[in-house]
Amino acid sequence: MATSPVKRAFKYRFYPSEVQAAELSRTFGCVRKVYNLALAARTKAWSRQERVNYAQTSSMLTEWKKSEELAYLSEVSSVPLQQSLRHLQAAFVSFWGKRTRYPRFKSRKRSRASAEYTRSAFRYRNGELTLAKMTDPLDIVWSRALPEGAEPTTVTVSRDAAGRWFVSLLCEDTPATMPAAAGAVGIDVGVTSLVALSTGEKVANPRHERGDRPRLARAQRALSRKAEGSRNRQKARRKVARVHARIGDRRRDFLQKLTSRLVRENQTLVIEDLTVRNMVKNRKLARAVSDASWAELRSMLEYKCAWYGRELIVIDRWFPSSQLCSACGTIAARLPLNVRTWMCACGATHDRDVNAAKNILAAGLAVTVCGDGVRPQRNTPERQRSAKQKIRPAREGIPAPRSGEEVNPWWCPP
């Protein structure tokens, strides 16, 4: 199946010279300052029930540059400053659409230091990238080649908390054709096993944060002993950030390899719509859930399925996948988390996670057959009831449950 062109970002690490690092640091500071000034102006207007759009903040930027106090804004490229205003506009659009909360001010310590350059503010020739206000190209480590003939449309430069510099080049690319696959798999995520598949396979959770927890604890204790504002505290903070960066890098690498394998081997993938944001509010599970990074796993599956022409089905979060017997459809009355294996009244013995994956696959295929949407039902009980009504006809011809047994109306035999 041929894939269509998509926008892809290629991220590389680079090592700036002292002059380049100073220029980029100034740009980061100016971008943050302009964003905060524009947000303050829009917030003040919002309190008067007025709206300020991007064009008005752009005019404000021109006036700020003319003032004596903010004249330093003219010393850096104007493109990243304009881009920060566009990002603020996008944040307000999301807020008005009730998708996100009200935009927040950027902090020098807690916010990501980054600047975005469009075509007019960089030059890419013969594998060398030169940004505006710079004479020498960036010393980029080209860990992988850009697509042949690709021309970057946007360049984003960033510096993480560990002091590492990265550049991300947005290009139009056609993903390589994925070999055809006819399989379908249900995926149940967990803590002990990161994923359990409907095929019976389990992938162990590497628990990267737990493995580096002693090292992280030592670095954090050392940080707590340093005086506020001292240079030693800055060094200790970077050590803590390097441990976090190591954990994050290893976790992303593992998830990339796992999701690529799942997408390569299966045409249809079915997952649950889990509310990870609510799960991490449980103080007993928050650390383990965050270490598993289920949200990032789902995000990778979504864009890779879109790239390679695979089908990703997301079933409703309230579907009782663990309690439902995949053999007869009976729902277990109570199934605590510490019960990993259970036996149904029909005589079938189930591994909790594998059984859940089988039920997820059956529910996802039922959704496809019955013509329901692939996105989960998120809003009203009426929409959830309509989804159940659409799936229910798939059970026609199935024998009625035995007396006293409860059968989920969503269940379809695998």
Catalytic center residues: 188, 272, 353
State the Cα–Cα distance between residues 400 and 147, nearest whole angstrom.
57
Angle (nearest 5°) at CA 363 between 362 and 364: 90
The H or E element spanning position 334 is none
The region, left, alpha or beta by phi > 0 then psi within -120 to 50, assigned to residue 187 is beta
Q: How far apart are CA 196 and CA 208, in angstroms?
A: 19
Q: Which two tokens stand for residue 362?
A: 């059956």
SS3 266: coil
Q: Which of 305, 307, 317 is nearest to 356 (CA)?
A: 317
DSSP string, 155-223: EEEEE-TTS-EEEEEEEEE-PPPPPP---EEEEEE-SSEEEEETTS-EEE---HHHHTHHHHHHHHHHH
Tokens of 348: 């079938």
How far is it, in rounded angstroms, from Cα 409 to Cα 406? Answer: 9
What is the rounded CA–CA span in Å between residue 258 and residue 84?
Answer: 35
CA distance readout (Å), 30 to 71, 84, 185: 11, 10, 49
